[in-house]
Amino acid sequence: MSALLDRPWIWAWLAAFAAFAATAAISQSQGIAGLLVAALTFSAFTVLVGLGQMFVITLGPGNIDLSIPATMTLAATLSLKFMGGAGALALPGLAVALAVGLGAGLVNYALILLLRIPPIIATLAASFVYQSLAIWSNRGLRIKPPDLLSDLMLGRTLGLPNVAYIALAACLLAWVALERARYGREVTAIGQNLRAARFAGIAVERVRCATYLLSAALAGVTGFLLACFAGGAALNMGQEYLLSSIAVVVIGGSSIGGGRSNVPGVPAGAMFLFLIVSMLNSYGLGAGVRLLLTGVIIVGIVALGTRSRTAR
C-alpha cells in the first residue's frame, strides 16, 4: 500500500475516482454508465495531446509546446477540407493531418535551434502563424467529416468508446517509449542534466527534435480525430487544450521542471479535469466557484504528488 502511495500518479487517480463517485452519487443509476462513457470519450483527446506535451516537458526547464491548439486547428481544417466529406479519402486525410503536424513540429524546432528562440516564445509565435493559416485556408467554414469517420469516432466497441481505445493504445506506446526504450531514457537524462547527457554521448539535439516532432504530430492527429468526432473543424476547437495539455502532465505527477515523468498520470489527470467540471456543474456551482475550486484542488494534488516524491 505504501509503495503504491509513493507513486506520483496515485493522487491523480484518487482524485479522479473521488470526483466520479461524487458525481455518480447524485446521478440516476443509468446515468452512471453514461458518465463513465462521457469521461472516457472526452478525456481521450486530452490524453493524446497530453502525452506529447509530457515528452516535451520532460526535456527540462523551458521546454514546452504552446503551439498544440493551433496545430490541432490547422491539421483539422486542412485535412477535412482535403477529404471534403469523401469516405474514400479517410486514410489520406489522416496522412494530411499527420503531415501538417510534422511540418509544424519541424518549424517549431527550427525556430528553437536556428534562431535560438526559447521554446515558450518560439512555439507561441509559430502558433499565430498556424492559426492564421487555418483562418486563411477556410475562413472558419465548417466542413463535415466523412460519415465513415464520424461513425467510427462516435462509435463504441464492447460498450466502451472507440476513442478511449485509441488513447489507451497511445498510453501503452508512450509507456514503452518512456520506460523501456532508449529514446525515453535519453529524454529523461536530458531533462535531469543537460551537460551530463551531452558528456554521456547522447545526441541531444536529435532527441529534442524528435520530441517536438512527436508532440506536434500527436496534436495534428488529435485535431483530426476531434474534428471527426465533433462534426467538423472550428477555428476555436483547440483553445481548451493549451492549458489542459499542460495541466494533465502536472496533475499526473510529472515534474514541470522536466527529467521525471510518468505515463499513468496523464489519463488520470485528463479524467480528473473532465470529472471535476462535471461534478461542480452537477452540484450547480457557478463558473466563478468552479474555477476557484478547480485551481485549489489542482494545487492540492500537485502538492501531495510532490511530497510523495521527495519522501521517497
Partner 1 sequence: MKTATCLALTIALVTGAAASADTSDKRIALSNNYAGNSWRQAMLESWEATAGQAVSDGVVAAADAFTTAENQATEQAAQIQNMILQGYDAIVLNAASPTALNGAVMEACDAGIVVVSFDGIVEEPCAWRIAVDFEQMGSDQIDYLAGRLPDGGDLLEIRGLAGVFVDDAISRGIHDGVAANPQFSVAGSVNGDWAQDVAQRAVAGILPSLPEIVGVATQGGDGYGAAQAFEAAGRDMPIIVLGNRQDELQWWAEQRDANGYETMSVSIAPGVSTLAFWVAQQVLDGAEVPKDLTVPFLRIDQADLDQALETTPEGGVANTEYDLEAAQQVISDASS
Using the 8-state DSSP alphabet, how is residue 232 labeled?
S
Instruction: Report phi then psi at 115, rounded to 5.
Output: -95, 0
> Do 96 and 38 form a contact (C-beta atoms < 8 A)?
no
C-beta closer to partner 1: residue 81 or 198: 81
Q: What is the DSSP letter of 68?
A: H
Could you give the CA distance from residue 138 to residue 56 in angstroms, rounded to a whole number? 30
The SS3 of residue 263 is: coil
The CA distance from 189 to 169, in Å, is 25
Task: Specify the residue, 231 or 257, whose C-beta has the smaller distance to partner 1.
Answer: 231
Closer residue to partner 1 (CB): 42 or 55:
42
* Length of the chain counted residue by residue: 312
Site for partner 1 (CB under 8 A): which residue of 62, 286, 295, 300?
286
| Per-residue contact string for residues 200-239; x = within reach of partner 1 by CB under 8 A | --------------------------x--xxxx-xxxx-x
Q: Are 308 and 11 in contact (CB under 8 A)?
A: yes
CA angle 137, 140, 220 (to 5 degrees): 65
Give the per-residue contact string, 131-160, with partner 1 (x = CB under 8 A; - = no).
Answer: x---x---xxxxxx---------x------
Whichever of 177 and 228 has its CB closer to partner 1, that residue is 228
> With respect to partner 1, which residue has the nearer C-beta, 232 or 258?
232
Take residue 40 and report the three cell numbers written for it.
Answer: 472516457
Chain positions 18 to 37 lying near partner 1, rule: CB under 8 A, are: 23-24, 26-28, 31-32, 34-35, 37
Which residues contact partner 1 (rule: CB under 8 A)? Answer: 23-24, 26-28, 31-32, 34-35, 37-39, 41-42, 128, 131, 135, 139-144, 154, 226, 229-232, 234-237, 239-240, 274-275, 277-278, 281-282, 284, 286-288, 291
